[in-house]
């Protein structure tokens, strides 16, 4: 579970890393006429062969199913409040399966890598996440989007969390290039949630 991995990373903070630049596709403005023709022919074959579809299926084109799109991107991750260069992980968030599933690839600089699958289910009217990592760990979450915050509560026990306690993690877009993610825990009988970890995602330059 990422909450446990993040807590371990915080214990080893500070860690500093420099993100490597990612190769960019060739701009259409710089392509020759023949290169543009070849590109159009290649993409047309993909569409006509149904390898990709130009539109999302109706089941995941609703406003609710687009609530987590703000997380999509290439990110450098640091503890909230730390200097921009104090990066502890990289995270790649992509849309797959015709835009219906949000996939996270979490790469910390000193812990087990992991990924999550996230999808809005119109049948339950909830978001669902399955987290898996090389720890190895697997955790199921479900949640909802409200007042600008995507909140997931764990449905399976987490290592290090007392029996009867509840755990959740939250995501909030602070602006177009910054996302806050933080974890909370509420022990049995407690009235309030307590923040247990807090991260800031900064969009990598040139990847939007």
Residue 25 lies in a domain: no
Residue 42 lies in a domain: no
pTM higher than 0.85, yes or no?
Answer: no
- Least Cα distance to 120 among 134, 106, 101 occurs for 101
Residue 34 lies in a domain: no
Residue 182 lies in a domain: yes
- Least Cα distance to 115 among 148, 99, 138 occurs for 138
How many domains are there within the chain? 1
Residue 32 lies in a domain: no
pLDDT in tens, 87-131: 999 999 999 998 899 999 999 998 999 999 999 999 999 999 999
What is the spatial distance between Cα 87 and Cα 18, in angstroms, rounded to a whole number? 8
pLDDT score of 191: 86
Q: Specify the CATH number for the domain of residue 109.
A: 2.40.128
Residue 66 lies in a domain: yes
Residue 143 lies in a domain: yes
Q: DSSP E strands: which ranges in 85-177?
A: 89-96, 101-108, 114-121, 126-133, 137-146, 149-154, 166-175
What is the spatial distance between Cα 172 and Cα 21, in angstroms, rounded to a whole number? 26
Contact assessment for residue 95 and residue 101, using Cβ atoms and an 8 Å cutoff: yes
Residue 38 lies in a domain: no
> What residue numbers bound the domain in which 82 lies?
2-18+58-203
pLDDT in tens, 158-205: 888 888 889 999 999 999 999 999 999 998 888 899 999 999 999 998
Who contacts 35 (Cβ-Cβ below 8 Å, separation ≥6)?
26
């Amino acid at each position: 579970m990422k909450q446990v991995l993040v807590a371990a990373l915080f214990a080893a903070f500070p860690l500093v890393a420099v993100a490597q630049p990612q190769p960019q596709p060739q701009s259409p403005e710089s392509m020759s006429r023949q290169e543009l023709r070849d590109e159009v022919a290649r993409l047309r074959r993909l569409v006509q062969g149904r390898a990709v579809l130009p539109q999302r299926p109706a089941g995941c084109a609703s406003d609710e199913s687009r609530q987590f799109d703000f997380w999509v991107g290439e990110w450098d991750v640091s503890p909230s409040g730390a200097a921009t260069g104090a990066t502890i992980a990289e995270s790649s968030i992509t849309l797959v399966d015709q835009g219906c599933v949000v996939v996270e690839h979490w790469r910390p600089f000193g812990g087990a890598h992991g990924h999550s699958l996230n999808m809005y289910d119109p049948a339950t009217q909830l978001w669902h996440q399955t987290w898996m990592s090389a720890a190895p760990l697997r955790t199921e979450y479900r949640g909802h989007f409200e007042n600008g915050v995507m909140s997931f509560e764990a449905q399976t026990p987490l290592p290090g969390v007392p029996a009867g306690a509840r755990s959740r993690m939250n995501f909030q877009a602070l602006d177009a290039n910054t996302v806050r993610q933080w974890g909370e825990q509420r022990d049995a009988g407690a009235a309030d949630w307590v923040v247990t970890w807090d991260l800031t995602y900064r969009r990598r330059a040139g990847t939007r």
